[in-house]
A and B are shown apart, each in its own frame.
Chain A
Amino acid sequence: MSRTVYDLIGLAAGVAFILALKGLSHPKTARRGNLIGAFGAGLATLVVFFYSNENSSLPLNNLGWILGAIAIGLVIGVPAARKVQMTQMPQLVALFNGVGGGAAALVAIVEYLNLGDQATTAEVVFTVFTVIVGCVSFSGSIITFMKLQELMTTRPVIFPAGRFIIAATLISVLGVGGWVVTALGTTPLLILAGLSLLFGILFVLPVGGADVPIVISLLNAFTGLTVAASGYVLDSTLLIIAGTLVGASGTILTRLMAEAMGRSLFGTLFGAFTAKPQDVAAAGEERPVRSGSPDDVAILLNYARRVVIVPGFGLAVAQAQHTVRELADLMISKGIDVAYGIHPVAGRMPGHMNVLLAEANVPYDQLLEMDEVNPTFGQTDVAIVIGANDVVNPAAQTTPGCPIYGMPILEVNNAANIIFLKRSMRPGFAGIENELLYDPKTMLLFGDAKASLTKVVSALKAL
C-alpha cells in the first residue's frame, strides 16, 4: 500500500472520529455516532497491517506477538465492557481511560529506546510530555477507579504538608523531564515515568468524591493530548488528529460537567495545592430523627396529589429501579401526579441515572431535569428521596465552605413532606452531614431500598 493510500485511509478515520463526536452530542444520533467512531478506529487499526515504508517490509515484524497481544486485549476488554453492572460503569470508563494513558506512555518509551541518539530535540520533548502525562493519567485513573469502587475512602485524602509534597513532586517531574531532554538516556526516562506515576496519585488523592467525575473527564482529555504527541513522534497524522480532537472536546466536556455540578474547575484542579487539613463532617453526634413504617409512607402517598421521586445511587445499588417504577405506576393509577426529579449528577456521573432508569423502562416524559422540577417542589405534597443524599443537601446553598457548597441541588426541602429511604444514617458520597434528615417534615424509612419499596407498594395496594 502506498503512503498516499495509507494517509487517505487515515484521513477517513479522522473524519469518522469527528462525525462520532458530533453524533454523540445529540440523543438521536448518539448510538450511530459511537458506531462510526468504532468503524474509524477499526479501519485505522486494520490498515497498519498493510502498510510498509522504505525501512520496513510486510508482513510486519513480530506479527505473531502483535496479534496475540490484540487477542489478549480483546479477551480482557470485551467481557469487562459487556458484563459490567451499569452502576459500576463510571469506574470502568475511568479504568479504560487509564490504560489508554498507560499505553501512550509505553509507546513513547519504546520509540525513545528505538530512536536512541537519532532522536531530534523536538521528538524528545514530545516523548517527555507523553511519558509524564500518560503516566499521570494512568495512575490518576487507577485512584479514581478505587474511589468509585469504594476500595478506598471517597473523602479527600489530605495529609500534613501535602501541598508541599505535591509541589515538590511536580518540580522534580519537570526537572527530570529537562534532564531527559538535555542528557538523553534510558535511566532518566524511567525515573521520569516513576515520578509521574507518583504525581498522578498525589494529584487525585485530595479530590473529594463529588469531584471525581470531573477528574476522570480531565484525565480523559490528558490522554487525548498524549496520543496527539505520540502522533508527532511516530509521524502519524491520524494520531495527531484523533488525540487533539479528544483533548479539545474532553476539555470542553470537563468544563460543561463542572458547570452542571456548580463546581469551579480551577478549584477542582488545584485542590491538590490549596487543600488544607480540615475536619470533615463532625459525625457521631446522636440527634433525634423521625422514622416511619412502610404503612405510614403508604398513607402519606395515598392522600398526596403530587409526588416527586428523587432517585440516587442507593436506588441503583439496591437494583430497585423496577420496584420504583411499580410504585410510580400504582400511584398514577390512583390519580396521583408522579414525576422523577433527576439531578445532573445523580448516580456517579452526569447522565448516569438516566441510563439506569432507562434500563428499567421508566417513561422518558416522567423524567424531569433539575431546572424543570425545582420550581414545582412548592406544590409537591411528598418528595421521596431514594438512596440520594448530597444532591438534596441544603448545605450546598446555606453553608459556605462545605465541600459541596455551590453545587445546584434538588430543592426537596420546599416540598410539604419528605420521605428518605436510606440504609443507615451514613453521610453521602461527599461525606457531609445532611440537615434535612433532622427536619420535622422528614420521615425516614430505613432498610434496603428495594425491600422497603416492595413493602410500600403492598401497603399502598391494600389501602
Chain B
Amino acid sequence: MEPMAILSIFVLSVFVGFEVVSKVSSTLHTPLMSGANAIHGVILVGAIIVADHSKTNLELGLSVAAIILATINMVGGFVVTDRMLEMFKGNKK
C-alpha cells in the first residue's frame, strides 16, 4: 500500500478514536476499556494470515500460539464486556 495512504488512514483513525470517547462518564470507563480491549483482539486476523504462510515448524508453532492468545483476547473480551453491561441494563427498570 502507498505510504501516504497508510499515513492518512492512521491519522484519521487517531482523530476518530479521540472523538468517539471524549465524553464518557466514569461509570462506563471499565466497560469501555474492556470493549476496546476486545476490539484489538482482531489481531486474530493477523495471526491467521501468518499461520497461512508459515513454512517452518517454528513459524507454525508460534502462529498457533498467537491464534490461541488472540482468540482468548477477542472472544473473552466481548463476552465479559457483555456481562458487565447486562447488569447496567437490569437496574434501569
Contacts and interface: CB of A to CB of B under 8 A. Distances in A.
A187 to B, nearest CB: 13
Interface in B40-60: 40-56, 58-60
A247 B17 contact: yes
Interface string A240-252: 1111111111111
B76 A81 contact: yes
A146 interface: no
Contact of B39 (A235, A245, A253): A245
Interface in B14-42: 14-18, 20-42
B80 A224 contact: no
A246 B36 contact: yes
A413 to B, nearest CB: 22
Contacts of B43: 100, 103-104, 107, 226-227, 230, 239, 243
B64 to A, nearest CB: 4
A245 B88 contact: no
A111 interface: yes
A363 B91 contact: yes
Interface residues of A, number: 113
A358 B67 CA distance: 35
B41 A41 contact: yes
Interface string A81-105: 1101010011011001101101110
10 contacts: A21-B17, A24-B28, A25-B28, A30-B85, A40-B39, A55-B53, A82-B79, A110-B54, A223-B37, A358-B90
B6 A232 contact: yes
A299 B38 CA distance: 49
Interface of B: 1, 3, 6, 9-10, 13-18, 20-56, 58-60, 62-92
B39 A41 contact: yes
Nearest to B17: A248
Interface of B is mostly: helix
Given A56-B53, A351-B26, A364-B91, A220 B37 contact: yes
A274 interface: no
B85 A31 contact: yes
A61 interface: yes
Most buried by A among B13, B15, B30, B41: B30
Nearest to A115: B53
Interface stretch (A69-77, A387-395, A443-451): A69-77
A148 interface: no
B1 A237 contact: yes
Interface in A313-367: 344-345, 349-352, 354-355, 357-359, 361-364
Most buried by A among B21, B33, B50, B82: B33
B16 to A, nearest CB: 6
A60 interface: yes
Given A106-B65, A250-B33, A351-B31, A34 B70 contact: no
Given A25-B32, A351-B31, A73 B91 contact: no
B1 A235 contact: yes
B31 A77 contact: no
Contacts of A99: 69-70, 72-73
B4 to A, nearest CB: 13
B57 to A, nearest CB: 11
Given A20-B39, A103-B44, A362-B91, A110 B62 contact: yes
A69 B48 CA distance: 10
Contacts of A40: 39
A237 B49 CA distance: 13
A108 to B, nearest CB: 9
A81 B68 contact: no
